[in-house]
Amino acid sequence: MSTTHRLALIPGDGIGQEVIPPATAVLDAVGRRHGITFTYDTLDWSCERYAHEGAMMPADGLDRIAGHDAILLGAVGWPGVPDHVSLWGLLIPIRRRFAQYVNLRPIAVFDGVRSPLADASGVDFVVVRENSEGEYSEVGGRVGTDLALQEAVFTRTGVSRIADYAFALAEQRRKHVVSATKSNGIIHSMPFWDEIVAERAARHPDVAWRSEHIDALAAKLVLDPRSIDVIVASNLFGDILSDLAAAVAGSIGIAPSGNLNPEREFPSMFEPVHGSAPDIAGKDLANPLGAIWSAAMLLEHLGHAEAAEEVTAAMRAQLAEGSRTKDLGGDVGTTEFTAQFLARL
């Protein structure tokens, strides 16, 4: 039995361009063993394109990739182009148009990776971040020179579906959800969030859950991360918590993410958590594992759980006993690391 998947590749800027080729090489290698063929359409959407053409992507860009099976993105952002241009000119339109309302960020501390925490072994949890509304809204404005207003947008539909996703995910894991809130300080949207999460929790009686204020939860991520299984959070809270969590796990270079359209009406997008890293771009120093792990999430999303597991198992083994890139204290470059990883796979 053979399957073909058509993927849109957006390497983007900086090390984005260095980590996507290793990720597609991994997809091809594992695909060969499982009868999966990938075809790639590589797009030049980036800050580099913005510098030449005044837009991150063509006007009909989203139409061009709406029929693809998934999107694999490296990173976008470059000095000289304001970060809100790369975000609102590319990433946010993709996430919103394709209803990728779940941002999934698994966190694991691998054997052989040094966490800044004294003891982080066994940390294994997932941040489920709301990805389509919340604090990242266009509603608001400036009034004169001395006033800015920014409204958060929370809808019953938006909160319900992200909570449902988190509880369903917890059912397949250790059956525990923590909901990030701040209902003591943010008195309209956060109590609304809390009420709806509680309603949805009632539909999953086998999952234990609790609400925790975002500040206390941030401290818990550092002090007791092993106690956490699934975190569900709004767009802003989830963004901050997942970067903190990636740091706790030892390296931003490894952390993956998926922007999911769970209904599969549109393509989902997979990307490493890290950015374009201008400080190391072009030096063969980038750790490709964040992109490779993201490719494994893509495999799982497309129904190839076994192939995905082979990739994560190879990651675990590589980190425990193989060479590593400089960010993890090793001395091999991206190219050599990728060759060794492919040989292991």
Residue 266 C-alpha from the chain's centroid: 17
Check binding of 164 to Mg ion (CB under 5 A).
Answer: no
Integer Rg of the chain from CA: 20
Check binding of 280 to ligand NAI (CB under 6 A).
Answer: yes
Is there a catalytic annotation at residue 146? no
Out of 75, 109, 207, 345, point to the residue binding ligand NAI (CB under 6 A): 75
d(CA 309, CA 210): 30
d(CA 156, CA 177): 19
Check binding of 211 to ligand NAI (CB under 6 A).
Answer: no
Among residues 50, 101, 136, 165, the one annotated as catalytic is: 136
Residue 75 binding partner per list Mg ion, ligand NAI, none, with a CB distance cut-off of 5 to 8 Å that depends on partner kind: ligand NAI
**Per-position b or e across 30-62, b if 16+ CB within 10 A of its CB:** bbeeeebebebeebebbbbbbeeeeebbeeebb
Check binding of 268 to ligand NAI (CB under 6 A).
Answer: no
Out of 18, 164, 239, 271, point to the residue binding Mg ion (CB under 5 A): 239
Nearer to Mg ion, 87 or 168 (CB): 87
Nearest C-alpha neighbor of 241 from the set 210, 270, 212: 212
Is there a catalytic annotation at residue 41? no
Could you tell me if 75 and 43 are in contact, meaning their C-beta atoms sit under 8 angstroms apart? no
Check binding of 258 to ligand NAI (CB under 6 A).
Answer: no
Token couple for 105: 């960020």
Considering only the stretches 52-60, 83-91, 142-150, 306-314, report the one whose residues sit in contact with ligand NAI under the rule CB under 6 A: 83-91
Residue 300 binding partner per list Mg ion, ligand NAI, none, with a CB distance cut-off of 5 to 8 Å that depends on partner kind: none
Beta strands in 49-199 (DSSP E): 70-75, 102-108, 124-130, 140-143, 147-150, 176-181
Nearer to ligand NAI, 82 or 122 (CB): 82
Work out how close the CB of 327 gets to ligand NAI at its nearest, in angstroms, rounded to a whole number.
4
Give the H or E element holding residue 37: strand 36-42
Nearest C-alpha neighbor of 297 from the set 111, 104, 167: 104
Nearer to Mg ion, 171 or 243 (CB): 243
Is there a catalytic annotation at residue 243? yes
Residue 239 binding partner per list ligand NAI, Mg ion, none, with a CB distance cut-off of 5 to 8 Å that depends on partner kind: Mg ion
Q: Which residues bind ligand NAI (CB under 6 A)?
A: 15, 75-78, 83, 86, 91, 252-253, 271, 274-280, 286-287, 290, 327
Question: Which sequence positions are flagged as catalytic?
Answer: 136, 182, 215, 239, 243
